[in-house]
Amino acid sequence: MTSDPTMSITGARQRQERFTVLQKWVSRALAGNLSCLIVPGPEVALSHGLDVTAAGMRITATPRDASVLLIIGELSEKMNEAVAVLYAQMPRPRAIVNLGGQTPSTLPDADFSAGVSQAGLIDAVDWLKRALAKGAFSDSPEDFDAPVLHARIEYVCPMHPEVVQNEPGSCPKCGMDLVAREAGEPAPEHDHGHDHREHRHHEHEHQHHEHEHQHHDHAQQHEHHEHEHDHGHCHDHHDSHEHDHEQHEGHQHSHENHHDHGHKHQHDESDGDAEEKNSGHDHSEHGHDSHEHGGHDHVGHGHSGHDHGGHDHGASGFMSMIEVTKDLPRSADGLAMDWMEVPFGPVFPGLPGGLKLTLTLDGDGVTEGQATSLVGMINESEEGKEIDAETFIERLASAMPLASVSYRLLACLAIERAAGLENDSATDQARAVALECERIASHLGWLAQTGRQLGFAWLTDRAATLQLEIRRASGKRLVELTPALQALAARLGRTPLLKSRLKGIGVLPSGTAGLSGPVARAADDAGDAWARLWQRLDEIITSLDYIKATGEPGLPVLRNIGRGSGTGEATVETPRGEAQLSLILEHGQVKSYRLDTACSHHIGLVAKLVEGRELGDALVAVGSLDLSPWEVIS
Amino acid sequence: MNFVIVLLALLGSVWLLAVVEGWTTTGRLRPAAPLLSGLAHLGRESIVPRTPDRVFFETAPVLLLIVAVLGAAVLPLAPTLVIADLATGALFINAALAYVLVALIMAGWGPNGAYAMIGGWRFLGQLIAYAMLIVMPITAVAMRAESLVTTVIVGSQDGLWNIVYQPLGFVLFFIAAMALAFRAPFDLPTAPGELGGGVDAEYTGVRLGVLRLARLTLVITLASATTVFYLGGWHGPLLPPWAWSLIKTLAVAVSMLLAGRYLPRIREADLMRWCWTLGIPLALLNIIVVGLLVLVVP
């Protein structure tokens, strides 16, 4: 693979003959400016000990700014779809690098694959540099297409909403040209539909553009369909969908439109019922009818932007704000506004990768929200399906990239107990030290993540550096790092604005049940994000003291269990709280198991924490829980 | 001629600022990096979101750049080195900078995306919070100079810079300038951790290149304004006047840049509350104090 670096055809950009010399220079510049979007997220890269910046790539916050999609580890089915959407949003030239996993089926083949290691990452960067310098521009780039980007287009009469058909044409009742819309959109409202109509006309007339185009999508939010434009008149998905199908000759009015539509955000959901979901959602027309769709399904923003900008309603008379907003739900401040349901994640700079937060926004206040994990483990205790004990341990550990040592330990303990092994104090001690090491590393990872969320670059860099060092450090070296960690804590105590940013945010109501870990321990204090920060900083120091007093860490390795049988149960205090595993062992094989984790409970707190908060505060509150979506068991 | 020189100085400062920015984030000093990154922006696809408000989407980055250059046009590098030495220079810069808001709202509205739109409206929400703290300190500066002409304002600081004469005004202006340039920790309209880039979120390729250039130019313009209003402009020993102007401007710009690195983003509610309840009264106090000084001290 390394011998002849060539960009994949979905990644390269169309070559323009006129600019050959310029393109050569630009290619070199591109090769020197690698920026990557990490999937699932930078925190996973760190927990694998990968230093992306040191390898020569800038970490970006959005797919728009990224030239490399860096995928780390295996992704879940749901994540695969989200990743396709992210890839579609990246501007060309773009590349996919896959470390330690299969390339998601929704994506083209990875440009470069390697194992999860810093060496693999450095090879990847080296390969990318050569490939970009050579092949950033191609004579025959291809469009990226994936089922997840598709939505159905139907045609409707602007005056007669009951006239809907799959083909373009004119209305049998009034003879007007039918207007394209995504299946499930409500009918255009008369007064304001005018604007839409015009646009569609327009597009029908301009169906052949030769320039590049592609369907882009937006996993994180309002997924638009975009395309490279050189002409001024391609602005709509209908138009661009013509482009998308240039390869399919004669397929001009295909009803499958690849698009990714902002106010639809169902595309990063995997259940494939996109069309149905659309139906709850008022498209555009300034909020009319939104109340009919059950509250706040109204994401009018998507098209209303268009409509407003189109300044077309002027002709149809004065638009009264009171009229327009009279039926909208009222927010806490009594103002009626468009409510938008905006997804944050599953790959979002302010949240851990794999966590998807869906917030209903009223301006930038959150009226309600909920969090789901797209990567969570499933409690599968299928009858008759036995897993080898060693394999089980590996599988559990790799399913929890943010706390693999803890879960390795948990699995070892449960299996050993099931096999009836006695505790061995020396092993226990070394394991306990390993667990404390991971706790420090995990809390530092959380600090780096918090830094990303708060735009606190120094904290992100510092915590990430320390986390990487701790991963590599022996017990002795760890003790040497104590002053650096204490200095970090002291520095945070002195940082202006930090306290005002966290104090009083994400307060858990007293007596909230089901808490564990730092979240529970901080609940006794003030129970807010500030208390949780200090709880974690204190735990870092406490863990260091323990390591200092105890000795070297030893990675949990399963002791010889022979072909033992029995039931075993173990509990480990992971960095995020208590995890409990009970399993049935038969002849050295794990027959069934049951896992319970802190994050499975904590994720349920999100709805309460975000409700009624300002967007920034809501995200801080969610972040302060240190949710690991991997540890959310469904 | 002045026009070309000032423009070149502006570009040079932007380049230096970008080098320093790269230095603080990557730890490596690469003088060619800004040029390469600009070239890379040319090479990337410039995507137009689906159903954008095309006029707003296209105009916003360019408008922001124009605004920043317009602001710089009335700021002198040396006694005669100024594009337009307007009689209402100090007022003009306010008027020019008002369009930063317009550009951001356009950038927020244009791409038709939720993150961008919230970013744009956030900036609108902050309008009075930062705008009053730009205008009111400048008022006090003009009071001392008894003129709105920027060259006269610099002249009035001969011997005693305004940073000493009215330190309160300087602090308020500096903070407000950072908010106006939406640099961290006031980067609420872009806020990567909250809005995934906000108003920047939908721009790619050339358009993003222009937007980034505009943002850096705006920082330089505001730093230059700080220099002219508070740091005695071109005054300084030994070096020629233009060199002092550039050094001071860069120092202010770099300090704006560094401050954001070591601070978490401010809460929107806090920004509003502090500006309204603390900043504006302090700015009024500054005007009163300066007024008294102007009357009492001959």
Within 10 Å of residue A335's Cβ, how many Cβ atoms?
Answer: 12
pLDDT bin (cut points 50, 70, 90) of residue A569 is very high
B45 and A32: CB-CB below 8 Å? no
Answer for the pair A624, A426: CB distance below 8 angstroms, yes or no: no
pLDDT, mean of residues A449-472: 92
Confidence of residue A240 (pLDDT cuts 50, 70, 90): very low
**Chain B residue at shortest CA distance from A33:** B37
Please indicate whether, in this complex, the C-beta atoms of A364 and B268 are within 8 angstroms of each other: yes
Provide, as residue numbers in chain B, all residues whose Cβ is less than 8 Å from the Cβ of A53.
Answer: 26
Q: What is the DSSP letter of A62?
A: S
What residue of A is the nearest CA neighbor of B38? A29
Phi, psi of A343 (to 5 degrees): -85, 135
Cis peptide upstream of residue B52 (ω within 30 degrees of 0): no
Task: Report A:503-532 residues touching B (Cβ under 8 A).
Answer: none
State mean pLDDT over A318-333.
Answer: 63
Nearest CA in chain B to A224: B50
Q: Indicate the helix (H) or strand (E) that contains B139.
A: helix B127-145
B192 to A452: CB separation less than 8 angstroms, yes or no: yes
Residue of B nearest to A62 (CA): B196
Contact status, residue A289 vs residue A186, Cβ threshold 8 Å:
yes
- A501 CB neighbours in chain B (<8 A) are 264-267, 270
Of residues A547, A546, A512, A551, the one with CA closest to residue A528: A512
* DSSP characters over A187-208: PPPHHHHHHHHHHHHHHHH---
Which chain B residue is nearest to residue A219, measuring alpha carbons? Answer: B196
With an 8 Å Cβ cutoff, are B37 and A350 in contact?
Answer: no
**pLDDT confidence tier of residue A311, bands split at 50, 70 and 90:** very low
Q: Is the peptide bond before A509 cis (omega within 30 degrees of 0)?
A: no
For residue range A202-223, list pLDDT tens digits in order.
333 333 333 333 333 333 333 3
Please report residues of A whose CB lies closer than 8 A to that of B201: 62, 64
Contact yes or no for B50 and A225 at CB 8 A: yes
Q: What value does the mean pLDDT take over residues A300-311?
A: 35
Amino acid at B258: L
3-state class (DSSP) for residue A498:
helix
Full DSSP string of B231-284: S-TT--SSS-HHHHHHHHHHHHHHHHHHHHHTSPPPPHHHHHHIIIIIIHHHHH
Does a cis peptide bond (omega within 30 degrees of 0) precede residue A556? Answer: no
CB proximity A261 to B under 8 Å? yes
pLDDT for the residue numbered B44: 87
Those residues whose C-beta lies under 8 Å from the C-beta of residue B297, and which sit 6 or more positions away, are none
Distance (Å, whole) CA A489 – CA A472: 21
Confidence grade of residue A228 (pLDDT, cut at 50, 70, 90) = very low
* Bridge partners (DSSP) listed for residue A593: A583
C-alpha A256/C-alpha A178 separation (Å) is 17
Query: Where are the alpha helices (H) located in A551-630, listed in sequence order?
Result: 598-602, 606-610, 615-624
Band (A472; pLDDT cuts 50, 70, 90): confident
Say whether pLDDT at A262 is over 80.
no
Contact predicate A72/A354, CB 8 Å? no
Mean pLDDT of the residues in chain A: 75
**CB-based contact, B297 to chain A, within 8 Å:** no
In the predicted structure, residue A360 carries a pLDDT above the cut 70: yes
B39: nearest CB among A26, A348, A452: A26
The position carrying tokens 């504006």 is B280
List the Cα angle B227/B232/B237 in 5-degree steps.
115
* In the block, residue with structure tokens 């409500």: A186
How far is the first Cα of chain B from the last one, in angstroms, to the nearest whole number?
39
Q: What residues of chain A lie within 8 A of the CB of B270, using their CB?
A: 497, 500-501
For residues A72-83, one letter each, b for 16 or more C-beta atoms within 10 angstroms of the residue's C-beta and e for the rest, the string is bbebbebbbbbb
Q: How many Å lie between the alpha carbon of B184 and the closest alpha carbon of chain A?
A: 7
Q: How many CA atoms lie within 13 A of A180 on its CB side?
A: 23
Lowest mean pLDDT among A166-180, A435-449, A536-550: A166-180
Window A:575-594, CB contacts with B under 8 Å: none
Of the pLDDT bands very low, low, confident and very high (cuts 50, 70, 90), residue A258 is: very low
Q: Tell me which residue has tokens 């510092």.
A: A462
The C-alpha atoms of residue A80 and residue A583 are separated, in whole angstroms, by 30
CA gap A608, A606 in Å, rounded: 5
Q: What element of type H or E holds A238? A: helix A237-244
Burial of B251 (0-12, 13-18, 19+ CB in 10 A): middle
Q: Given a cut of 70, is residue A510 above it in pLDDT?
A: yes
**CA–centroid distance for A20 within its chain:** 37
Q: Which residues of B touch A92 (CB under 8 A)?
A: 44-45
Nearest-Cα distance to chain B for A275, in Å, is 19
Contact indicator for A280, A185 with CB cutoff of 8 Å: no
At residue A118, φ and ψ (nearest 5 deg) are -60, -35
The pTM score is 0.82
* Count of the separate structural domains present in chain B: 1
Taking the Cβ of residue B184 and every Cβ of chain A, the question of whether any pair is shorter than 8 Å is answered with yes
Q: Collect all residues with Cβ–Cβ distance below 8 Å to B246 and sequence separation of at least 6.
A: B9, B12, B13, B77
Assigned token pair, A268: 């990063």
**Full domain range(s) for residue B203:** 2-296
State the smallest CA–CA distance between residue A428 and chain B in angstroms.
40
Residues of chain B with Cβ-Cβ distance to A29 below 8 Å are 36-40, 42-43
Q: Report how far apart, in Å, the C-alpha atoms of A611 and of each of A360, A362, A607, B17 are.
A: 9, 11, 6, 41
Is there a cis peptide before residue B192, judged by omega within 30 degrees of 0?
no
B197 interfaces chain A, CB cutoff of 8 Å: yes
B193 at the A interface (CB within 8 A)? yes
**Highest-confidence segment of A282-291, A563-572, B242-251:** B242-251
- Check CB contact under 8 Å for B193 and A61: yes
Residue B186 sits at φ, ψ, to 5 deg, of: -105, 25
The answer on pLDDT for A513 being more than 50 is yes
Tokens 């910046």 found at: A53
- Round to the nearest angstrom and report the end-to-end CA distance of chain A: 39
> How confident is the model over A102-112, as a mean pLDDT?
85
The two tokens of residue A471 are 């991963």
What backbone torsions phi and psi does residue A339 show, to the nearest 5 degrees? -95, 135
Unique residue bearing structure tokens 């009015």: A253
Highest mean pLDDT pick, A260-264, A282-286, A305-309, B240-244: B240-244
Supply the pLDDT for residue A201. 35
Digitized pLDDT (tens) for each residue of chain B, 298 residues in all: 889 999 999 999 999 999 998 888 888 888 998 999 998 888 888 888 888 889 999 999 999 999 999 999 999 999 989 999 999 999 999 999 999 999 999 999 999 888 999 999 999 988 878 899 999 999 999 999 999 999 999 999 998 999 999 999 999 999 999 999 998 899 999 988 899 888 988 899 999 999 999 999 999 999 999 999 999 999 999 999 999 999 999 999 999 998 889 999 999 899 999 999 999 999 999 999 999 999 998 6
In this complex, do A619 and B122 lie within 8 Å of one another by their Cβ atoms?
no
What DSSP string runs through A358-426? EEEEETTEEEEEEEEESS-------TT--EEHHHHHHHHHHH-TTSHHHHHHHHHHHHHHHTTPPP-HH
